[in-house]
Amino acid sequence: MGAVTSLLIVITFSLLITRIGTEALTLTGLSRESAQFQSRSAFTGAGFTTSESEQVVSHPVRRRILMLLMMLGNAGIVTVASSLVLAFISAAGPADWLSRLLLLILGLALLWVLANNRWVNRILSRLVSWALQHWTDLDLRDYTNLLRLSGEYGVMELKVQPEDWLANKRLVDTHLRSEGALVLGIQRADQTYLGAPRGSTCIRPHDILIIYGRLPALKELDSRRAGFDGERAHWEAVAMQQKLLEDQCEHDLSSYLDDQDSGSPIWKD
């Protein structure tokens, strides 16, 4: 029974470690879903290669978190495997083997219920966040909440290639604001960073743009190449943004008229 108990303890600590990793990654600006996926991927050594993973690895704070998760994960997986083998090899007979299997199943079921309980998750998240902010020196920022990232909107890193539509243009000449995109910063190839760049700033090949806007539009911009097709895609994106703004105005006007019809005060002191 001791081997089964130690196995359940190791699994409990593994879940706790991945939860701490998830909270730490979330506080650096990742969404909770992405942070949970990256934390479990690093701990188990799955090593999924995605564009999101590349952005996580390029971030120094996130890279430190993932390295620690990978180190702990290697030790945890070996411990779980050895404890699982010992739990059943040392069984005295079929009855003992069955009782250990039943204990293991009940223990795993209990851990599963606790891991998916909202009340437990809420308390654990608050405790982990508080501990990380008070007992670590990580530069933690909840950029998701700060920028109100929701729906289709988000921040994306866009690397400019020599053949891209953006290459060798001044920022003002791209009219990205007309597409609903806002350049927050530019990382030069020589590691120089330009925060809140001016319109006269030239976008060079191999620059990395940090852009805020609608993610579908940003992905299209990332694949846009220079030439006639690129210019056409730009004006199509401008037209799409204009339509979105018009729809928003119509929605606001409709809400205003509904408030007037219902007698609700429009302006409040």
pLDDT in tens, the chain (269 residues): 566 676 667 677 777 778 778 877 777 767 777 777 888 788 777 665 555 666 666 666 777 777 777 777 766 666 666 666 666 566 666 776 677 777 767 877 876 777 677 787 777 777 776 776 666 655 555 455 556 566 678 888 889 999 999 999 999 999 999 999 999 999 998 888 898 999 999 999 999 999 998 888 998 999 999 999 999 999 999 999 899 888 888 777 776 666 666 554 544 44
Q: Read off the CATH number of the domain in which 200 is found.
A: 3.30.70.1450
Q: Which residues pair with 155 in a beta bridge?
A: 212
Q: What is the pLDDT of residue 223?
A: 92
DSSP strand E in 171-248: where?
182-187, 193-195, 202-203, 208-214
In-domain check, residue 147: no
Six-digit token string for 260: 């007037």
Give the Cα separation of 267 and 265 in Å (integer): 6
In-domain check, residue 146: no
In-domain check, residue 143: no
Please say which residue of 83, 106, 135 terminates a domain.
Answer: 135
In-domain check, residue 144: no
Q: What is the pLDDT of residue 82?
A: 64
In-domain check, residue 253: yes
Give the range of the structural domain holding residue 174, as residue numbers without chain letter.
153-260
Q: Do 25 and 108 fall into the same domain? A: yes
Q: What is the pLDDT of residue 269?
A: 42
For 32-47, the pLDDT digits (tens) are 777 778 887 887 776 6
Q: Do 72 and 183 fall into the same domain? A: no
Q: What is the pLDDT of residue 48?
A: 59
Q: How many domains does the chain have?
A: 2
Q: Do 13 and 98 fall into the same domain? A: yes
Q: Do 23 and 97 fall into the same domain? A: yes
- DSSP assignment letter at 265: -
Q: Do 102 and 212 fall into the same domain? A: no
In-domain check, residue 74: yes
Q: Do 77 and 187 fall into the same domain? A: no
In-domain check, residue 268: no
Q: Do 69 and 118 fall into the same domain? A: yes
Q: What is the pLDDT of residue 266?
A: 47
DSSP strand E in 92-181: where?
153-159, 169-170
Q: How far is CA 77 from the centre of its chain?
A: 25
Q: Do 82 and 187 fall into the same domain? A: no
Q: Do 70 and 164 fall into the same domain? A: no
Among 126, 121, 142, 130, CA closest to 25: 142
Q: Do 195 and 91 fall into the same domain? A: no
In-domain check, residue 266: no
Q: What ranges in the chain are assigned the alpha helix state H?
A: 2-27, 32-44, 51-58, 60-89, 94-115, 118-135, 143-146, 171-174, 215-222, 228-262
Q: Do 98 and 192 fall into the same domain? A: no
Q: Do 124 and 172 fall into the same domain? A: no
